[in-house]
Amino acid sequence: MAHLTRRAAVAGLSGLTIAPWLPGCGSKPDGMPAQQGKPRIALVMKSLANEFFSTMAAGAKRHQADHADEYDLIVNGIQDERDLTRQSALVAEMAAQGVAAIVIAPADSRALVTPLQRAAKQGLTIVNIDNRLDTEVLKQIGLQAPFVGPDNRAGARKVGDALAKALKPGSQVAMLEGIVTSFNSQQRRLGFEDAMKTAGMPLVAIQSAQWETAPANQATASLLNAHPELKAVICCNDSMALGALAAVKSAGKAGQVLIVGFDSISAVQAAIRAGEILATADQHGDQLAIFGIGMALELLHGKATPADRETPVNLITRESLQ
Ligand code: ALL
């Protein structure tokens, strides 16, 4: 959290509109009483091999230790960003263990809706963090899962604008997306496109490297071959930015092809300080699950809660890291 203090991040959240939780139209079935005593909450994340999620897990565990009288926590994740089957199975396992609520960063915006609906029918409260579930699909099946997370389009726009400032107009740029059915990858793409369009930078290639470092490395190597004039690679997360950086270095183009990412993991912060990566976005991963857990506790205690809560996202550059 380079740019914003933890307190400021939390305060930034508290000014948002609060709408009442409506029993019967949410994930808590009709007539189900609010949870009594100390609830168990399951945090279900994506790849724990990604520092973004290990930081999130650490933040949640610290919070639980400080609030041990209020709730118990089970922390879960998957090993590969693409393992939707394992994440769906985790949802079912948590329901079978009888947790009161699931706070989930879904690996896919559609594929996780059905397993979550099954859990909700068993009486679990569902809170969606980080990557928004498809609102249309949620509406169709009548599952209410409030979303707690940043405006990814706005975050990407900030990073894209910083990149545009560092390039000459007309510079060729390529983009690596995450899993294309993830809402936050789609939103980041839109934010980066907005920035490039406004600055007049042609996006000569857009392809998915599925959030992962190795595919991003391969994709960047081919992009550098196919587009010798390429001046920048935009990555929709930092894991991919690290893969792109390795490819740029091995092509002998360090410093000639700029790279930006999203997440502000420590390896990317180091690369920004070293002048190897230009910018990223800090979406305060260490706080994100805590915001979601806070929402779950409010729901479980039957308190009025916001429908959705927007969390902060900040531009990180060499300047802001000093
Ligand atoms: C997104 C997160 C992070 C992460 C990516 C891959 O949902 O916001 O950007 O790096 O998923 O798991």
**3-class SS string, the chain:** CCCCCHHHHHHHHHCCCCCCCCCCCCCCCCCCCCCCCCCEEEEEEEECCCHHHHHHHHHHHHHHHHCCCCCEEEEEEECCCCCHHHHHHHHHHHHHCCCCEEEECCCCCCCCHHHHHHHHHCCCEEEEECCCCCHHHHHHHCCCCCEEEECHHHHHHHHHHHHHHHCCCCCEEEEEECCCCCHHHHHHHHHHHHHHHHHCCCEEEEEECCCCHHHHHHHHHHHHHHCCCEEEEEECCHHHHHHHHHHHHHCCCCCCCEEECCCCCHHHHHHHHCCCCCEEEECCHHHHHHHHHHHHHHHHCCCCCCCCEEECCEEEECCCCC
pLDDT confidence band for 306 (50 / 70 / 90): low
Mutate to test the pocket of ligand 1, among 82, 130, 314 (most ligand atoms within 8 A of CB): 130
pLDDT at 4: 35
pLDDT confidence band for 322 (50 / 70 / 90): confident
pTM listed for this prediction? 0.89
Mean pLDDT of the chain: 90
Q: How many angstroms separate the alpha carbon of residue 32 from the centre of ligand 1?
A: 34
Q: Domains in the chain and their CATH numbers?
A: 9-148+285-309 (3.40.50.2300), 152-282 (3.40.50.2300)
Q: How many angstroms separate the alpha carbon of residue 210 from the centre of ligand 1?
A: 10
Determine if ligand 1 sits within 6 Å of the CB of residue 237.
yes
Mean pLDDT of 113-129: 97
